[in-house]
Amino acid sequence: MRWRICAAAWLLCGTSMSPVLADEGAADTSHLRVLAASCAACHGTNGNSVGGTPVLAGLMPAYFVAQMQAFRSGKRDSTVMHHHAQGLTEAEIALLADYFSRQPRVTMHAPVPESN
């Protein structure tokens, strides 16, 4: 099931990933794109959530890693993040932490409904 979510997210968002990935090796880039695209499904492209979920862009790597470890261990409650965190290796968490730390934080606003 997880691979289907990753594949769908990559297809939807994978082509819009940051040029930062171009600096990585080809194999690492492909793997990182899939991992980051899985996050993008909820946390927005390049970690810039539109609302409802935390923004990952610009987070300090140590903070990101600590939160993922807390999800893995159950110290931090979540509806789905504990499943995602348990499916990642320490190396993958470190890759994601580095990737999101290098993404610029973009302030986004959800559209405001028009009043009639």
The whole-number mean pLDDT for each consecutive block of 10 residues of the chain, a chain of 116 residues, reads: 42 40 58 89 90 92 97 93 93 95 84 75
Grouping H, G, I as helix, E, B as strand and the rest as coil, residue 50 is coil
Number of neighbouring beta carbons within 10 Å of residue 86: 12
- Decide: pTM greater than 0.75: no
Residue 31: per-residue pLDDT: 87
Q: Report domain 2-101's class.
A: mainly alpha
Q: Domain residue spans in the chain?
A: 2-101
Query: For residue 103, with 0-12 CB atoms within 10 Å meaning exposed, 13-18 middle and 19 or more buried, which class applies?
Result: buried
The pLDDT of residue 3: 43
pLDDT of residue 9: 41
